[in-house]
């Protein structure tokens, strides 16, 4: 997973950092999904193939953020977390 910081211009334009746009061509359409204060950006060409998975991912992400806001997350050491992740 890559994480970077960008900003929006006065005209509403947002720059996608160069390392994150390697597979995006000029003029390519992007789909933006908003859920409260979160945005998910996907290539429109990929949406046809993965629309169901993307919607499910957005739903699960929203549920996770709501659980986090309610204080329902559990804190644990990284090694224990990785062991739990292997069970999934």
Does residue 1 form part of some domain?
A: no
**CA–CA distance, 3 with 88 (Å, rounded to integer):** 24
Look up residue 39 and give its two tokens: 């945005």
Structure confidence by residue, pLDDT tens digits, 37-67: 888 888 887 766 677 787 788 889 989 989 9
Does residue 7 form part of some domain?
A: no
33 exposure class (CB count in 10 Å sphere: 0-12, 13-18, 19+):
middle
Does residue 83 form part of some domain?
A: yes
CA-nearest of 32, 34, 38, 33 to 68 is 38
Does residue 6 form part of some domain?
A: no
Does residue 38 form part of some domain?
A: yes
Average pLDDT over residues 11-34: 90
Does residue 3 form part of some domain?
A: no
Does residue 5 form part of some domain?
A: no
- State pTM to two decimals: 0.49
Q: How many domains does the chain have?
A: 1
Range of the domain at 30: 18-87
């Amino acid at each position: 997973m890559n994480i970077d910081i960008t900003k929006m211009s006065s005209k509403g334009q947002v720059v996608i950092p160069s390392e994150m746009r390697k597979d995006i061509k000029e003029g390519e359409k992007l789909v933006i999904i908003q859920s409260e204060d979160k945005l998910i950006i996907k290539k429109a060409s990929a949406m046809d193939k993965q629309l169901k998975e993307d919607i499910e991912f957005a739903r699960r992400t929203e549920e996770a953020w709501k659980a986090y806001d309610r204080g329902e997350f559990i804190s644990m050491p990284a090694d224990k977390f990785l062991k739990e992740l292997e069970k999934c």
